[in-house]
Structure 1
């Protein structure tokens, strides 16, 4: 949530580059925090509500502001994106299917926007197209596997480790491209790449 607020501040200061990096760092930290929460079993009602507020602030409001609010069309798209994020959070449901999300997780949509902003140097038209696509995925309510990357197969852990190392050591453009490909692979190939283990778990438990 703090990184999300910093991202909003950077956007208002016309530093979209810094705002985008705040969101990419938040994307990586979000995975770690959720893993630690599950591992330490420290879930609580207040913690869950605070998490939703942090997700809305960072992956909803801060991400939407990357689109800019110059002109009525951009402003309208920002409002729709924020509402789509709120809808995704309010109507989040596993619908009885274990190890799945319903609707694209907001963090992945945010990662796509932040990476696109960095790679295109804030091109408004491309960002608007990507934001419109992410809105459709969040509202579509399709099923996506739980991204328990740090508790899953080794190759998924390596994907996360690669993103962290690249963030620290590699050129910024390469890191943004890596995160974009990571997010798009989750969005377009959720079961083929990221859901194999999750699909097998319920079957194993039933047996």
Structure 2
């Protein structure tokens, strides 16, 4: 396939990611928090696949980048914030703060250091929020506490390694494959626990577990 065709494939994946986010928003409005959370978790895996394909094929497109950023904002910003519910003014305010945190991070957080993020990547924050929603059956208080923590992590100045799981060691690829299997073949609670453990390990052990492959690569 030529470069133009591969760009179309990547753009189609970004549109699929955005569609999952829009469906998640619809489910949140319909009070189907389990379905809404599940779609966010699927988007979490799809976003990793999009990044891997883009880097592997060295696809660079301004329109594709903007489309992917908009998909990330829709799914990991709006859809994830609506998992909190908007039944009261406090929840609504926290949802707005969450969306603003994602927007601020996407627009202004750039390290200039190869293979490094500044602040927790929003897909991981959304993964933790969606997993918590599934495990607690949408408990508003717990979700609000977790969302507040995720906002702090996203706005933090700490550095996190690039999560190039599909281009790294074999065991990391198995972690990704395990996530796919869990989400599509296991009960929501087991899949949520798996994704929550995965994301928390990235937060608390970023270099020890997830940064080795990045450190071994040459810096140009």
- Which TM-score bucket, shorter chain as reference? over 0.9
Partner of residue 46, structure 2: 29
CA deviation vs aligned residue, 1:152-180 (integer Å, no higher than 9, x gap): 01110010011111112222210110000
Asked if 1:104 corresponds to 2:117, the answer is no
Does the alignment pair 1:135 with 2:141?
A: no
**1:28-77 CA distance string (max 9 Å, x none):** 11111111111122221111111111111000110000001111111110
| TM-score for the superposition, normalised by structure 1 | 0.95
Distance 1:183 1:26 in 2: 14
State which of 162, 179, 182 in structure 2 corresponds to 1:163. Answer: 179
The answer for the alignment partner of 2:56 in structure 1 is 39
1:73 alignment partner in structure 2: 90
Distance in 1 of aligned mates of 2:180 and 2:213: 23
Between the aligned partners of 2:19 and 2:141, the Cα distance in structure 1 is: 28
C-alpha separation between the residues in 1 aligned to 2:78 and 2:39?
13
Query: TM-score with structure 2 length normalisation?
Result: 0.89
Q: Distance in 2 between matches of 1:52 and 1:155?
A: 29
Q: Secondary structure at the match of 2:117?
A: strand
Q: Which moved more, 1:164-173 or 1:184-193?
A: 164-173
Segment of structure 1 superposing worse, 118-127 or 192-201:
192-201
What secondary structure is seen at the aligned counterpart in 2 of 1:67? coil
Q: Distance in 2 between matches of 1:11 and 1:140?
A: 28
**Residue 17 of structure 1 aligns with which residue?**
34
Q: Distance in 2 between matches of 1:145 and 1:115?
A: 22
